[in-house]
């Protein structure tokens, strides 16, 4: 709720004041039990900073993050460490996120050693049994628990990351672009695996992505970010069929159409994104928006609900 992360430029250390970089500026959303909320937007829009702030892997500047009604931002380091039992993450890079000196089985067993199993402390034999079960659940052969990460392919490493995140039966898994470093065919397997696991165990995903085809496949709702703000939130069907915010429209129009005979309504986005160190006043999209008017430069549009048949669509625009 109203999450902010402003980075202070290192130059401020050198006593040459620079404005802080407003990577995330007043972002609010909810993720329901068993739901996948996708966070999308172009590079630098603040989606990964938002996801890591939710985990407190980055300390937010202000705002509120609640899990099951409990405020996380006021917790001490030790309290937060214990809360991570319910809050796990799958990282983008399956090559950098696994300790190369640990065997695969030990990597997956690490959360079990730190926290005990889903129902309490575990003996080494119970831990071994759960690791074998987790390997089977994510489609890895249990014998491969003795291997080191470099002996696995990229897709298999990401399966290891998923097994590690799943070990404690968390309530929410933050998926930080979990398939963007993988081949397309492997991407599909990993996305389908995540969906199967959610159907079986009922955890929620906060799914950070820039690939809209993947988002369309996996998400229940989508939040679109632009320059540190959430500009539209809607259920998947509504967002892809009837986007309201001009930025969402432009983003969706960039998705290639498979059939070359289908006329593509491509809208080109003009210019580069402004610097988050000096964002435009009012609506941050006004410097690139084809519909911008005078009011857009002066007044920030609030994210407000619109009537739709079926789902709920929230849009931050003066005219949509």
Site track for ligand SF4 across 191-230, x = CB under 6 A: ----------------------------------------
289 binds ligand SF4 (CB under 6 A): yes
Among 296, 303, 313, 314, binds ligand SF4 (CB under 6 A): 296
Segment interacting with ligand SF4 (CB under 6 A) among 84-92, 193-201, 255-263, 278-286: 278-286
291 makes contact with ligand SF4 (CB under 6 A): yes
For ligand SF4, the closer CB: 64 or 299? 299
Cβ–Cβ < 8 Å for 274, 284: yes
Element (H, E) at 23: strand 21-27
In the list 161, 273, 276, 301, the residue contacting ligand SF4 (rule: CB under 6 A) is 301
d(CA 103, CA 109) in angstroms, rounded, equals 10
Query: Least distance in Å: CB of 306 to ligand SF4?
Result: 13
Q: How far is the CB of 128 from ligand SF4 (least distance, A)?
A: 55
Quick one: 191 or 230, whose CB is closer to ligand SF4?
230
The length of the chain in residues reads 320
Q: Which of 108, 160, 215, 317 binds ligand SF4 (CB under 6 A)?
A: 317
Contact flag: residue 6 with ligand SF4 (CB under 6 A): no
Q: Is 109 exposed, middle or buried (0-12, 13-18, 19+ CB in 10 A)?
A: buried
Q: How far is the CB of 246 from ligand SF4 (least distance, A)?
A: 5
Q: Which of 6, 85, 147, 318 binds ligand SF4 (CB under 6 A)?
A: 318
State the number of binding residues for ligand SF4 (CB under 6 A): 13
Select the residue interacting with ligand SF4 from 91, 152, 205, 285 (CB under 6 A): 285
Is the alpha carbon torsion for 214, 216, 218, 222 positive or negative? positive
Tell me, residue by residue from 243 to 262, as one string, x for binding to ligand SF4 by CB under 6 A and - for no binding.
--xx----------------
Nearer of residues 79 and 281 to ligand SF4, judged by Cβ: 281
Quote the DSSP letter at residue 75.
Answer: -
Which positions ≥6 away from 216 have C-beta within 8 Å?
Answer: 236, 240
Residue with tokens 């003009």: 270
Q: Which residues pair with 4 in a beta bridge?
A: 25, 62
Backbone angles phi, psi at 15, to 5 degrees: 60, 30
C-alpha 156/C-alpha 139 separation (Å) is 8
Looking up tokens 């950070």 gives: 208
In the structure encoding, which two tokens stand for residue 230, read together?
Answer: 């959430």
Interface with ligand SF4 includes 273 (CB under 6 A)?
no
Cα–Cα distance between 152 and 70 in angstroms, integer?
38
> Torsion angle of alpha carbons 233, 236, 238, 244, nearest 10°?
40
Name the segment binding ligand SF4 (CB under 6 A); options: 9-17, 72-80, 159-167, 312-320. Answer: 312-320
Does 292 participate in binding ligand SF4 (rule CB under 6 A)? yes
Compute the distance between CA of residue 112 and CA of residue 126 in angstroms, rounded to an integer.
Answer: 10
With beta carbons less than 8 A apart as the criterion, state whether 80 and 72 touch. Answer: yes
User: Is 65 or 283 the residue whose CB approaches ligand SF4 more closely?
Assistant: 283
Give contact residues for ligand SF4 (rule: CB under 6 A): 245-246, 283, 285-286, 289, 291-292, 296, 301, 317-319
């Amino acid at each position: 709720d109203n999450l902010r992360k402003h980075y202070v430029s290192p130059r401020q250390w050198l006593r040459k004041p620079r404005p802080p970089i407003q990577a995330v500026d007043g972002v609010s959303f909810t993720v329901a039990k068993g739901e996948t909320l996708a966070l999308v937007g172009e590079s630098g829009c603040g989606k990964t900073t938002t996801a890591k702030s939710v985990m407190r892997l980055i300390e937010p500047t202000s705002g509120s993050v609640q899990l099951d009604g409990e405020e996380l931002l006021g917790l001490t380091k030790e309290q937060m460490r214990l809360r991570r039992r319910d809050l796990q993450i799958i990282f983008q890079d399956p090559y950098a996120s696994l300790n190369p000196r640990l065997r695969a089985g030990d990597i997956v067993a690490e959360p079990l050693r730190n926290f005990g199993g889903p129902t309490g402390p575990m003996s080494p034999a119970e831990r071994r049994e759960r690791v074998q079960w987790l390997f089977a659940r994510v489609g890895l052969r249990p014998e491969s628990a003795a291997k080191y990460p470099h002996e696995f392919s990229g897709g298999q490493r990401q399966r290891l990351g998923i097994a590690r995140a799943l070990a404690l039966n968390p309530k929410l898994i933050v998926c930080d672009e979990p398939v963007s470093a993988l081949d397309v065919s492997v991407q599909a397997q990993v996305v389908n695996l995540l969906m199967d696991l959610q159907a079986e165990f009922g955890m929620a995903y906060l799914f950070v992505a820039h690939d809209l085809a993947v988002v369309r496949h996996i998400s229940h709702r989508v939040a679109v970010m632009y320059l540190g703000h959430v500009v539209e939130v809607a259920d998947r069907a509504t967002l892809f069929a009837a986007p309201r915010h001009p930025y969402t429209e432009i983003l969706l129009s960039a998705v290639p159409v498979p059939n070359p005979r289908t006329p593509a309504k491509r809208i080109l986005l003009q210019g580069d994104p402004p610097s988050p160190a000096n964002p435009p006043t009012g609506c941050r999209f006004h410097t690139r928006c084809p519909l911008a008017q005078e009011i857009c430069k002066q007044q920030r549009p609030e994210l407000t609900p619109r009537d739709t048949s079926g789902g709920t669509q929230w849009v931050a625009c003066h005219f949509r």
